[in-house]
Amino acid sequence: MKSPTTYFDSLPRVAALQRRIADADRSMVALGALSAFVAFLVVLPMFWLVWQAATVEASRAYDLVVSSQTAWITLNSIGLMVFVTAFSILLGVPLAVLTSRTDLPYPRFWTVVAALPLVIPSYIGAIAFVGMFGPGGEVDSLFGMTIPRVHGLWGAVFIITLYTYPYVFLTTRAALLSMDRSIVDAARTLNAGPLEAFRRVTFPQIRPGIAAGALLAGLYAISDFGTPAFMNANVFTSTIYWEFSGFAVEYAALLALQLIAIVAIVLVIEAGIGRDEDVGGGSGRGSVVRLGPWKWPAMGFVSGLGIVTLVVPVAIFTNWLLVSEGDPLPSLEFEWTYAFNSAYLALLAALVACAFALPVAYYSARANSVVSRVLERATYLGFAVPGVVIGLALVFLGTRTLPSIYRQGVWLLIFGYVVRFLPQAVGTVRSSVLQVGDETIEAARTLNAGPYQTFRRITLPLIMPGVVVGGILVFLTTMKELPITLMLRPIGMETLVSIIWGAQDALAYRYAAVPALLLILISGVSMLVLLRQEGGRLG
Amino acid sequence: MVRRDSSSTRDASIGRRPFLATAGASVAGIAALAGCLGDDDDDGSDGGSGGSGDDGSGAVANADPLGEPVDSEAVTWDDLGDLEGELTIYSGRTRDQIDPVFVALEEEYDGLTLNVDYDDNDVQVNQILQEGEATPADLMYSQDPGALGELERNGAVQALPGDVVDAVPESYREPDGYWTGVTGRVRAVQYNSERLAEETEFDSGDDLPTDIFEYAEDERFEGIISTRPNSGTFRGFIQAMVELEGEEATREWVRAMVEDQDVQLFSGGSDQAEAVNRGGDDDPIVALGNSYYAARIINEDPDAPIRATFTENDPGCLFSIAGVGVMNDVEDPELVAEFVRHLLAAEGQEFMMDANGEYPVVEGVDYVGDLPDLEDLNPPTFDLSDFDMDLQEAQDLLTEEGMTV
């Protein structure tokens, strides 16, 4: 009696198909191994935290973990995260629709303006905002107009939102660009109003994109130290720094692990929200929403946002440049190498992060197993831990494993950026992989394309908007990264942000003017180049 | 060396006065100094560093002076040996504080390269402790003695040469010479002079109390006072108060500040000084902290309303130091030792005085500047490396009393 298998074996075409499936399985296993390796690398610094925390005596650990203060700051941190996430969605999603789905003039320009706040360190933004609009600030002394005090938890929510909503804006925009727009028109022809069409057709399609950006915004908020500290908001990172500044690194490590535990819960919850059924996609062109006279308020709104987040810091620093009577500080004097260093580091970090993100994101989106999800989520942990703590872990690991490159070249520093920012690329790439329908890939396979060929010729072009946005996110955030840069840079290497920090630290803001302006210009131009790439692919 | 008259305008009867930073005077001061550094001594290379490091022990304590030894009388850079080679310095100080002296040294010695790594003081210490033997640093230039003490307790620094140790009074260094202060400062009370006169019952800075306990007890400070509890010198101040007044009184001071005065807490010294200076309705009018923040603001903007005054003979005017410790494993012990000697020589001391409005630690160098004489403030003296209460306990005390940021 013939078994069904041998029966099918007798059919050459079926055998070929089986081979291809076996190929595909093998390539998935290889992909899984690669993902696991990437995840291991970026989680490595967390082992240092565990090792440090293990040296804390039990009673002290108990006091630290369950004090009433801890409960209070945990609540504050969660509040900060929730509200920043919510407001970032409220700001980012409409902006994404505006710049990609309407006939807004110069959409690429406005896209860059709306994305650029990501390059400004939020505490610098906070200092500038308070110095400009706060009581006693510039506007107050010039016009006698002042706004309520931006302070405390709400102050931190406000400022952090202004500088993190671009996460949601960019990921949502990528999702909008990747989805098949013709179905929206189909919905409209079925008499659905624009809002209903958005809610019932567009929203389900771009939900993974929104979720990816919202998660990044939330995790950024919970790991930020500078802005809550400036605003006097007592959050989890405050306590970590309190111990850190008292040289009790082991306590700081224990608290950082507690923060990671909170974040892990968030990641699991979010995995439920962001989990999707493959949503399908395409690059079909659809009609755009005509703004008519509404384009003026729309452009005014984006301009206003750009003025508050980008122009104000530069203006405040430039004002100091003009009026200051301070002594020259030679080591803060601007040099073009600072700008080059910033762009170079950010570019390397973006490239490496995208290379690391592709296997993890692709595997997680296609395998859709518990293992693949755990690997993907693991890459987020580094994003939620304050930079100095990760930095210290890398100092330890770097001096113990590769002393020859420790502060000798940029590679350990680049690795540090990847540990911190990999999830930005993983999230965006993954959500764009999810939008590539199974049937598209199967069609390619039936045309005898191997897994690699399918990926290169079919999948990669389709997910390119996601990869580009992932690269942009890593690029922009690396441009502004401070703690790891200061700790791991080759000694004497200065970047735009290290100079801005140096100027702020010495209360010589005039030296921050040129670097801040260049930070914005270089990032803006780089973004334009990258967006052109994305447009070319889509065109 | 000293060009400016120090005290003719001081209100000696009060013994303290609002200080107007070193603004304006400092550029002229550096120019004047440059004059006395003019005679290039590149030819004086007889001290040379050619024979350095031959024993390979890395023991800086045994590094013989390349020229004259330093002493408490303040030698000049001309008396010292040449600096030649590369040094890597981890700095917890800001650029405005150390740039002038480092730039001057590099100009003085063609063969000298200083690689300076800037980061927050506490980050530098934590980083050195994690780096262990692999640290690329030769020296740590720290903002406060607590940080240097942490390095010493962890065995990360080595003893300094005998002449360096003897040049600095014992209360300004680690007794066995594992670190030394380079300059000193006293903790201050910063205030917004305009708001103090207009919005409070104090007429001027002269009305502010000279007793640090009154700042916690006097109702007039309720809601208008601030401090920055995460700084090294604030913890030093708490340690000093415990030593002088006992733990109970210190706890009561902290408690009263938090509960009665509703003290505003800042996590950055600059942020605090700027808030005082900006003077919005909710900003503090009086702030406990280091005086150099006020000096920086006035340096940038001479019309700024921020001023500083001091308490007298109590922990509130704690005399603290910024100083250096040498890492265990350095490439060129003679160079490192000679570099430290340069900081303690007359020009090193005077550059710091000029740039930061700080006090010299070497007795032979006269203080010039606008701050009150130390004799008038009469700050209590301590072994800064060994307070009765250790740093972690001081930190815990603040946590328990709710004074954390």
Q: Domains of chain A: which residue ranges?
A: 33-538
**Six token digits for residue A93:** 């999603």
Give the pLDDT score at A111: 94
Query: Which of B21 and A492 is assigned the larger pLDDT?
Result: A492
Which tens digits make up the pLDDT trace of A228-266?
Answer: 999 999 999 999 999 999 999 999 999 999 999 999 999
Question: Would you say residue B11 has pLDDT above 60?
Answer: no
Superfamily of domain A33-538: MetI-like (1.10.3720.10)
A9 pLDDT band, cuts 50/70/90, is low
Per CB-CB distance under 8 Å, the chain A contacts of B88 are: 491
What rounded mean pLDDT belongs to chain B?
86
Question: Would you say residue B30 has pLDDT above 90?
Answer: no
Question: Would you say residue B57 has pLDDT above 50?
Answer: no
Question: Exposed (0-12), middle (13-18) or buried (19+): which is A22, by Cβ within 10 Å?
Answer: exposed
Mean pLDDT of the A396-400 span: 95
Per CB-CB distance under 8 Å, the chain A contacts of B355 are: 327
Q: If contacts are CB pairs under 8 Å, which of residues 98-157 in chain B contact chain A?
A: 99, 102-103, 115-119, 122-123, 125-127, 129-132, 134-136, 147, 150
Residue of A nearest to B236 (CA): A246
What are the backbone angles phi and psi of residue A224, rounded to the nearest 5°? -75, 140
CATH architecture of B25-32+59-185+320-370: 3-Layer(aba) Sandwich (3.40)
A530 pLDDT band, cuts 50/70/90, is confident
Residue of A nearest to B293 (CA): A507
Query: Which of A185 and A351 is assigned the larger pLDDT?
Result: A351
Q: Do the domains B25-32+59-185+320-370 and B194-318+385-400 sit in the same CATH topology, yes or no?
A: yes
> Is the CB of residue A327 less than 8 Å away from at least one CB of chain B?
yes
Which tens digits make up the pLDDT trace of A301-322?
Answer: 999 999 999 999 999 999 999 9
Residue of B nearest to A387 (CA): B123
Question: Would you say residue B213 has pLDDT above 70?
Answer: yes
- Which residues, 6+ apart, have CB-to-CB distance to A515 below 8 Å? A334, A338, A339, A496, A497, A499, A500, A503
Give the pLDDT score at A437: 77
Q: Is the dihedral of CA B71, B77, B81, B86 positive or negative?
A: positive
B20 pLDDT band, cuts 50/70/90, is very low
B18 pLDDT band, cuts 50/70/90, is very low
Question: Would you say residue B143 has pLDDT above 90?
Answer: yes
Give the pLDDT score at B177: 95
Q: Provide the 3-class DSSP secondary structure of residue B288.
A: strand
A286 pLDDT band, cuts 50/70/90, is low
CA distance A349 to A479: 10
> Is the CB of residue A69 less than 8 Å away from at least one CB of chain B?
yes
Give the pLDDT score at A462: 86
Mean pLDDT of the B250-276 span: 96
Give the pLDDT score at B54: 38
In whole angstroms, how far apart are CA A365 and each of A174, A216, A449?
16, 18, 20
What rounded mean pLDDT belongs to chain A?
88
Determine, for residues B278 and A134 on separate chains, whether the beta-carbon distance falls below 8 Å: yes
- Which residues, 6+ apart, have CB-to-CB distance to B255 below 8 Å? B401
- Mean pLDDT is highest, among A426-440, B12-26, B128-142, for B128-142
What residue type is A113 in one-letter code? Answer: V
Give the pLDDT score at A149: 83
Buried-exposed string B23-50: b where 16+ CB fall within 10 A, e elsewhere: bebbbebbebbeeebeeebeeeeebebe
Mean pLDDT of the A32-51 span: 95
> Is the CB of residue B303 less than 8 Å away from at least one CB of chain A?
no
A479 pLDDT band, cuts 50/70/90, is very high
3-state helix, strand, coil in chain A (%, to 5): 80, 0, 20
Using alpha carbons, select from A212, A201, A215, A205 the residue that is nearest to residue A178: A205
Concatenated DSSP letters of B11-59: -TTTT------STTHHHHHHHHHHHHH-S--TT-GGG-STTTTSS----
Which tens digits make up the pLDDT trace of A187-229?
Answer: 878 877 878 888 888 888 888 889 989 999 999 999 999 999 9
Determine, for residues B130 and A249 on separate chains, whether the beta-carbon distance falls below 8 Å: yes
Determine, for residues B118 and A324 on separate chains, whether the beta-carbon distance falls below 8 Å: no
CA distance B223 to B262: 5
Give the pLDDT score at A269: 86
Give the pLDDT score at B12: 34
**Six token digits for residue A223:** 């790991």
Per CB-CB distance under 8 Å, the chain B contacts of A246 are: 122, 230, 235, 391-392, 395
A449 pLDDT band, cuts 50/70/90, is confident
Question: Percentage of residues in chain A with pLDDT exceeding 90?
Answer: 61
Question: Would you say residue B173 has pLDDT above 50?
Answer: yes
Q: Name the residue among B96, B230, B300 with its Cβ closest to that of A242.
A: B230
Give the pLDDT score at B53: 37
Question: Percentage of residues in chain B with pLDDT exceeding 70?
Answer: 86
Mutation target for A interface from B300, B391, B401: give the one with most A CBs within 10 A: B300
Q: Provide the 3-class DSSP secondary structure of residue A102.
A: strand
3-state helix, strand, coil in chain B (%, to 5): 40, 15, 45
Give the pLDDT score at A470: 92
Using alpha carbons, select from A242, A227, A505, A397 the residue that is nearest to residue B92: A505
Mean pLDDT of the B143-165 span: 95
Give the pLDDT score at B28: 34
End-to-end CA distance of chain A: 57
A101-115, A150-164, A192-206, B237-251: which has the minimum mean pLDDT? A192-206
Element (H, E) at A376: helix A370-378
ipTM of the complex in this document: 0.90
Question: Exposed (0-12), middle (13-18) or buried (19+): which is A293, by Cβ within 10 Å?
Answer: exposed
Question: Would you say residue A31 has pLDDT above 80?
Answer: yes
Query: Which of A163 and A292 is assigned the larger pLDDT?
Result: A163
A265-269, A365-369, B159-163, B330-334: which has the minimum mean pLDDT? A365-369
Give the pLDDT score at A40: 96
Question: Would you say residue B180 has pLDDT above 90?
Answer: yes
Which tens digits make up the pLDDT trace of B269-285?
Answer: 999 999 999 998 889 99
Residue of B nearest to A248 (CA): B392
B354 pLDDT band, cuts 50/70/90, is confident
CA distance B288 to B221: 12
pTM of the model: 0.88
Determine, for residues A232 and B395 on separate chains, whether the beta-carbon distance falls below 8 Å: no
Residue of A nearest to B23 (CA): A326
Question: Would you say residue A485 has pLDDT above 60?
Answer: yes
Per CB-CB distance under 8 Å, the chain A contacts of B131 are: 395-396, 399, 406
A121-135, A387-401, B128-142: which has the minimum mean pLDDT? A121-135
Question: Would you say residue A346 has pLDDT above 70?
Answer: yes
Give the pLDDT score at A187: 80
A145 pLDDT band, cuts 50/70/90, is confident
Domain B194-318+385-400 has CATH 1.10.287.3510: no
Question: Would you say residue A2 has pLDDT above 80?
Answer: no
> Is the CB of residue A263 less than 8 Å away from at least one CB of chain B?
no
Per CB-CB distance under 8 Å, the chain A contacts of B302 are: 325
CA distance B333 to B310: 40
**Around Cβ A16, how many Cβ atoms within 10 Å?**
11
Per CB-CB distance under 8 Å, the chain A contacts of B279 are: 136
Q: Domains of chain B: which residue ranges?
A: 25-32+59-185+320-370, 194-318+385-400
B44 pLDDT band, cuts 50/70/90, is very low
CB–CB of A428/A216 below 8 Å?
no
Count of positions (residues) in chain B: 405
Per CB-CB distance under 8 Å, the chain B contacts of A224 are: none
A222-236, A369-383, A454-468, B148-162: which has the minimum mean pLDDT? A454-468
Mean pLDDT of the A153-165 span: 96
